[in-house]
Structure 1
């Protein structure tokens, strides 16, 4: 019967989402808890379920069970067999990792480095380190993917604006953690670079690496892993291992047998893998047969260093095990060695070019001989070879290596093509084959005759990794696809769009430049025109992460684009959008606008660009044109027109194909739509757009950016519980991102500070005000959201003179800074403050406010309430409460009751 482990309901929720292959940030967002809380639950689950890493934990995610009990069943080879001996080595390594920053356990393949490292990690967890992470680097063939492998184990996704190594550093910077990096030898230089960065920036981190060669990094202490001990005073780890593995059927061996086993272990130099292979033959050969079979190949072991002899010991054991197989099984072992990740019998049959039933039978026989590890689970049965055996099998392929790899590549292409994101289990499906896709691509990219297939796989892997939110790898794969294509510009543009999603401005510029050059090299001047125009418009649109080009350089780009576009309609419309963007930029940066370039002229140019792009059927170009038009309308003070334009943009993009460029446009559009809806008093729409933004998978790791407008909308509405829950995700993500000082985060931070003030929690409010002090504070803070949120709190607390002072300046003096979404709120609050404080200009301010906020139902209700209070008409004031409720503004509804009762009114009011 399967044993069970009791886990808490919350751990059960986390385990289910780990099983669905969500990152820690995605889990935190779904459960409304912090990422650190998720990490704690994951660490607890790793200990309770006795698995070494996150991938193993995902396999344990159960089907629905009762009472929170999770079936415990073997998953990985690390826990399939008992751990024998090595007490001295384990104690030595524990001592080293508690005193040294980096320890590399070095030894030949098959000596037992992995099992020793896992045993050390298990003992270290909880006793010596807060957290222990295990990363198997066997599937990693590209040094660029090392940080990605570590991040996957830690449950991290990529945060736009930083690479995976930086994300790992942020996660580990303050953790007292042990990071186990297993099988480093095939990507040694890449591991060394990542480890050196981690050690330099994470002062409480310790790294335990296993490798066939040392890493050569600062702080490194090399520990030579010895073979298993041979008999001394009757004790022997080597013999104990043989006995354990040979006794799988319950057989016990007498003292005489132990003498023969000792001879076998001595001939195998105490090498753990070689002993396990020999022990697996005990049932069929007996000790005499094993001794006789081993004698011949070991005659060759003469001369050389002892370490080399140990390598030969394993090779001799592998040669011997291979020779004892039937030819059919030999062939199967060789052919499945191309898989770098666990594989199914169906996959093996395709690569081995054989019948699936026969292959399944052969895989079972190989598993019986300890040449494959079999893992059975509700999701199916998989097989894998230990790395040493896999390398041996690949070597044995010899002349058929290319043919087998070609079949593996074909299988990978089919798997990649069959992954569709509309299936709920597609993440798990992708993760199961991703390492093989990468390995097949690495081989195919070096084979001239496979260039076309390599391009197909790179392009598909780019799409898949983007959807999987591995956007750093997606950019890399698009660039790789470009290098394999005769027409590289399209893939370079895709790579540039991914760079935009990553907020990598320099890459965006470089890749669009490269796309233009690629277009020109094949005579596609229209394509080059689009690329150059896009560079210019990106400089204006994405000032937060794309470097601002000097005006003369931007003008030169647009002029060159215009010339290259010629009579091409598609290119000309993009150039028209860039020209409208230039006009908007000039309107904003010039004190009074440039001659011939008024705001009205800018709007006219933007409208023309929208019409041209719409007629051309270019949805992405139309989205950019609508964005420019939104900016122009906002700068003109037309809040309602700007809101309409943003919603038109979201609707347009909702039906566009999901591409990196469309995704980036949609994220930008959702933020602007939420912002604009707040400006017009449509809280329901603001929450709808803001919720879509908060739930966008590409923003899971940047919860501060994802939740910012939802926090503002909920703060306006007075949804205290939602603000407090969302602020946990915001603050957690902001700190993990390195506490960026982006001014765009100011409204959200100020909104949360206001809510804490309304709750009377001054300590929490002060914490958020300190965060605000860390951000850039542009003028719109003083006269826009800062004035709105500060005045709301002052009025709530009855601090009427302070409220009047905070919002004293007439809107006409500051309208440019409050136009976007704050103008209506500023004038409504200014009128309310004047009424409540008994200001002599209260009536005039009310009249002015009624004109300005006309069309904004929330602000209009606030002004109407103030007018009723000024007229001493509490019934009319109370009538506004129902309007506030219908508009989703609970706070103002409840405040109406207070004000209509005569509270917070001046004496005699």
Structure 2
């Protein structure tokens, strides 16, 4: 809480000043004199360079809030006391404070992890977040970022990989990241840290590894064995004594010389000392001495193993040789488990001759007693876990015993069976059950994928892991596993996996990947002799290029797509599936071409609709709901070019009904998310605010968008803004903005409209500074300035009319709708026309009546826009009763803002009721007419 130069008593006084206590009250609470309090206050003013007591109180309150908001360090709780390393502990803490990347380097078992944890706890108050990441379970370099994301609590964002999400989350944080056991994935850690440190200038990283990472910013901190000098005062002896006392028989002073000798012979290695101390209660000093003399020997570990590493191996050899044969077999066999495992799992993998499955539970207990396995209670039962050094040792023993292939094969079978069970599982604990075994599934897949005779098993496990990762919302891994499965399969199965990968890429809003994967699927299908499938895949790639063009970083050249579509048409022939896929692609191409023409001819618009209707009919014949929904989306888009907003909304709603029976796989999920977004947007276009909120809420609650609040809440924000629900909009605006910032500030029409709707609410509240800030966000959140002529004109006009600036509002909607049709015909046309009519009436424009008539012809059927036009008519005619009738219409349509505005426009005795209604919505009163 306090700076280093402030004493403990001064810190107490400062805290009480923050609670606004007088000197006498502080003196009474701390049981000191008032004069002493005055002295401390003077000292604090001098040390903190603050002008007066009030400034001290503010400083104390701000410090308290900072401490309360700072999350607790996410560090594992040590099970035993940290012994020794006083000098190293202080030096490493200073290194972490002064350098961006510090790597604690030393051999296995020297105590790198314990020291890193102790130092991380020591310096935690210097950071606004501390996270620990154990990389032991990570067997693939590419998954380092995912492990960090899981520890930090960051999810994947649509359109970005998980590494990008971590970079965005930590970009502005003064945080400390502790990466433990980096040596086995050094090729993944090094490039990840280079990107991380470049993007996060305030971040500090503390690494433990057996070798330097050789990356920029790195400062190595070599860690030597524990001090063995100084007799019973040495750190090594202190560690031995503490661990020996923990097993129930603390050594007395008479044996101190013998303990010193043992520690000397163990080379001061922390792991070796702890293992020896664990034997103290059963072997005593003479037993340990005998064991060291007769069994502990320096093994030749190859040119890469130094003497200290050989010492750890020697201790493990000695400890292993003291085990019964059944326990030796169990120790080496359970080394294949990457994550903590249950006794049942151990029995399945390790329970074969000479080990009886029934003996496994007792054996695990004995190994835990020998400190060779750690015991961890969990919600799903007791779990066991071997330290990484012991796991590596066990793997070597497996190879020596000729059991490596057998045990890894049994582990693979256990993983495959578990994955199959999980694929059919459900319930509240499903995620926890997957998380418990996920690292083992990945390790088994890595092993099997490298063995030609296990390709089929690896393919099945890759598909299972892809499905499970998708259900777990690990979309990046899901796509990776589907692509991996494709590489392990024949061409026919590979094409199927690539189609799934493309669908997952769609859920991630990665248009380039969708396009690439559909084309790859087509190539695989063609090699397999499936010409129809190949044609469908190429047609799908062509459709993606137009339908999801805003999700591309590089839109494919038109010539390439047209040529691909021609090839798809030739390959598909007259097969129903192929015809439907090609028709959808053709509809997408025609719609895009029509958009480029900007609607110059009615014939082109009808041609677009005709192509889309044909695609819908052909897709319906195939019985594929996903294909039919995609065709309906094309029809919805085609209808929008004709200006028929009701037909647009109807087609969008049909998509959700069509998809109701589709299981939650990647293809169906991608289509459903798009359908919900379009249903919400098109419902807004026809004034169905309740429907827009319903579809928007379903989209916002979709689990795949849990980490993408900006996409999930976009249409919900707009619907609430039109209704005037200020509290709801402002409540969602902060997480919307945070999510958008953390995801790398993507651009889309819906994001721009959402930001603009928040700006409008601030304008209706009279907060011009906040409105300006959000309008700046609009400029960065949308893809094209033309869009802002649509929703921008609508939202600006609403604010201007609210503020009584009718002439400026009239200018904002001055362009004739048919001049700006492409900007306003979609969701915003009805709103634009109604506001244009109202602004004309309030400004006394000579064409006001003509604008009312023109708007009424288009918006008929839209409850909100119709009421707004009716109100404009009543205002023009001086019809007070007609005005008040529209207030009830607005209420019925779920638009309380316009209802309240109607009362204010009516004036007289209705003004107070209108002002009260606006205040209830959290909005400011409107300006007088």
| TM-score when normalising by structure 2 | 0.87
Gaps of 5+ in 1: 1-38, 54-77
For the pair 1:460 / 2:464, whether they are aligned, the reply is yes
Q: Name the CA distance, whole Å, in 1 between partners of 2:800 and 2:301.
A: 87
Q: Counterpart in 1 of 2:563?
A: 556
Q: Name the CA distance, whole Å, in 1 between partners of 2:440 and 2:251.
A: 42
Secondary structure at the aligned position of 1:671 is classed as helix
The 5-angstrom pairing of residues 157-556 of structure 1 reads 157-232=155-230, 234-300=232-298, 308-353=306-351, 358-398=359-399, 399-419=402-422, 420=424, 422-486=426-490, 487=492, 488-546=494-552, 547-556=554-563
Please tell me whether the aligned partners of residues 803 and 926 of structure 2 are also in contact (alpha carbons under 8 angstroms).
no
Post-superposition shift, 1:593? 5.4
Secondary structure at the aligned position of 1:810 is classed as coil
Q: Name the CA distance, whole Å, in 1 between partners of 2:583 and 2:645.
A: 24
The 5-angstrom pairing of residues 791-810 of structure 1 reads 791-810=797-816
Please tell me whether the aligned partners of residues 71 and 129 of structure 2 are also in contact (alpha carbons under 8 angstroms).
no
More displaced 10-residue stretch of structure 1: 347-356 or 494-503: 347-356
Q: Name the CA distance, whole Å, in 2 between partners of 1:306 and 1:877.
A: 88
Secondary structure at the aligned position of 1:337 is classed as helix
Counting matched residue pairs gives 842
Q: Counterpart in 1 of 2:895?
A: 889
Please tell me whether the aligned partners of residues 267 and 298 of structure 1 are also in contact (alpha carbons under 8 angstroms).
no
Please tell me whether the aligned partners of residues 511 and 544 of structure 2 are also in contact (alpha carbons under 8 angstroms).
no
Secondary structure at the aligned position of 2:337 is classed as coil
Q: Counterpart in 2 of 1:619?
A: 625
**Compared with structure 1, are the counterparts of its residues 597 and 271 closer, same or farther at alpha carbon in structure 2 (3 Å cutoff)?**
farther
Post-superposition shift, 1:883? 2.3
Q: Name the CA distance, whole Å, in 2 between partners of 1:154 and 1:720.
A: 33
For the pair 1:767 / 2:773, whether they are aligned, the reply is yes
What do residues 91-127 of structure 1 show as CA deviations (whole Å, max 9, x unaligned)? Answer: 111111111221111111111111111111111111x
Q: Name the CA distance, whole Å, in 1 between partners of 2:456 and 2:247.
A: 51
Post-superposition shift, 1:544? 0.8
Post-superposition shift, 1:344? 0.9
Q: Name the CA distance, whole Å, in 2 between partners of 1:43 and 1:404.
A: 49
Q: Name the CA distance, whole Å, in 2 between partners of 1:277 and 1:649.
A: 64
For the pair 1:678 / 2:684, whether they are aligned, the reply is yes
For the pair 1:134 / 2:141, whether they are aligned, the reply is no
Which of 581, 594, 597 is the aligned partner of 1:587?
594
Q: Name the CA distance, whole Å, in 2 between partners of 1:804 and 1:537.
A: 41
Post-superposition shift, 1:620? 1.8
Secondary structure at the aligned position of 2:713 is classed as helix
Q: Counterpart in 1 of 2:920?
A: none
Post-superposition shift, 1:840? 2.7
Q: Name the CA distance, whole Å, in 2 between partners of 1:121 and 1:709.
A: 43
Aligned-CA RMSD value: 2.4
**Compared with structure 1, are the counterparts of its residues 346 and 475 closer, same or farther at alpha carbon in structure 2 (3 Å cutoff)?**
same
Q: Name the CA distance, whole Å, in 2 between partners of 1:43 and 1:894.
A: 40
Secondary structure at the aligned position of 2:131 is classed as strand
Q: Name the CA distance, whole Å, in 2 between partners of 1:305 and 1:350.
A: 37
For the pair 1:52 / 2:75, whether they are aligned, the reply is yes
Q: Name the CA distance, whole Å, in 2 between partners of 1:882 and 1:356.
A: 76
Q: Counterpart in 1 of 2:123?
A: 124
**Compared with structure 1, are the counterparts of its residues 471 and 335 closer, same or farther at alpha carbon in structure 2 (3 Å cutoff)?**
same
The 5-angstrom pairing of residues 732-811 of structure 1 reads 732-776=738-782, 778=784, 780-811=786-817
What do residues 860-899 of structure 1 show as CA deviations (whole Å, max 9, x unaligned)? Answer: 1111222222232323322222222222111112112212
Secondary structure at the aligned position of 1:598 is classed as helix
Q: Name the CA distance, whole Å, in 2 between partners of 1:442 and 1:647.
A: 44
Q: Name the CA distance, whole Å, in 2 between partners of 1:170 and 1:797.
A: 38
Post-superposition shift, 1:781? 3.8
Please tell me whether the aligned partners of residues 346 and 356 of structure 1 are also in contact (alpha carbons under 8 angstroms).
no
Please tell me whether the aligned partners of residues 802 and 927 of structure 2 are also in contact (alpha carbons under 8 angstroms).
no
Post-superposition shift, 1:392? 0.7
More displaced 10-residue stretch of structure 1: 862-871 or 706-715: 862-871
Please tell me whether the aligned partners of residues 231 and 260 of structure 2 are also in contact (alpha carbons under 8 angstroms).
no
Secondary structure at the aligned position of 2:473 is classed as coil
**Compared with structure 1, are the counterparts of its residues 396 and 597 closer, same or farther at alpha carbon in structure 2 (3 Å cutoff)?**
farther
| TM-score when normalising by structure 1 | 0.89
**Compared with structure 1, are the counterparts of its residues 782 and 118 closer, same or farther at alpha carbon in structure 2 (3 Å cutoff)?**
closer
Q: Counterpart in 1 of 2:824?
A: 818
**Compared with structure 1, are the counterparts of its residues 628 and 417 closer, same or farther at alpha carbon in structure 2 (3 Å cutoff)?**
same
Post-superposition shift, 1:741? 4.1
More displaced 10-residue stretch of structure 1: 795-804 or 776-785: 776-785
Q: Name the CA distance, whole Å, in 2 between partners of 1:874 and 1:605.
A: 49
Q: Name the CA distance, whole Å, in 2 between partners of 1:332 and 1:492.
A: 40
Q: Name the CA distance, whole Å, in 2 between partners of 1:704 and 1:41.
A: 29
Secondary structure at the aligned position of 1:812 is classed as coil
Q: Name the CA distance, whole Å, in 2 between partners of 1:236 and 1:94.
A: 22
Post-superposition shift, 1:859? 0.8
What do residues 28-65 of structure 1 show as CA deviations (whole Å, max 9, x unaligned)? Answer: xxxxxxxxxxx999995644xxx516xxxxxxxxxxxx
**Compared with structure 1, are the counterparts of its residues 678 and 780 closer, same or farther at alpha carbon in structure 2 (3 Å cutoff)?**
farther
Please tell me whether the aligned partners of residues 629 and 658 of structure 2 are also in contact (alpha carbons under 8 angstroms).
yes
For the pair 1:84 / 2:83, whether they are aligned, the reply is yes
**Compared with structure 1, are the counterparts of its residues 802 and 591 closer, same or farther at alpha carbon in structure 2 (3 Å cutoff)?**
closer
Secondary structure at the aligned position of 1:179 is classed as strand
More displaced 10-residue stretch of structure 1: 768-777 or 581-590: 768-777
**Compared with structure 1, are the counterparts of its residues 553 and 41 closer, same or farther at alpha carbon in structure 2 (3 Å cutoff)?**
farther
Larger-gyration structure (1/2): 2
Which of 695, 709, 712 is the aligned partner of 1:706?
712
More displaced 10-residue stretch of structure 1: 414-423 or 254-263: 414-423
TM superposition outliers: structure 1 runs of 4+ over 6 Å: 39-43, 301-307, 903-909
Please tell me whether the aligned partners of residues 711 and 748 of structure 1 are also in contact (alpha carbons under 8 angstroms).
yes
What do residues 454-486 of structure 1 show as CA deviations (whole Å, max 9, x unaligned)? Answer: 111100100111121211111110011011111
Which of 563, 571, 583 is the aligned partner of 1:576?
583
Please tell me whether the aligned partners of residues 703 and 733 of structure 1 are also in contact (alpha carbons under 8 angstroms).
yes
Post-superposition shift, 1:191? 0.9
Please tell me whether the aligned partners of residues 263 and 273 of structure 2 are also in contact (alpha carbons under 8 angstroms).
yes
Please tell me whether the aligned partners of residues 70 and 129 of structure 2 are also in contact (alpha carbons under 8 angstroms).
no
Please tell me whether the aligned partners of residues 780 and 786 of structure 1 are also in contact (alpha carbons under 8 angstroms).
no
Q: Name the CA distance, whole Å, in 2 between partners of 1:736 and 1:131.
A: 16
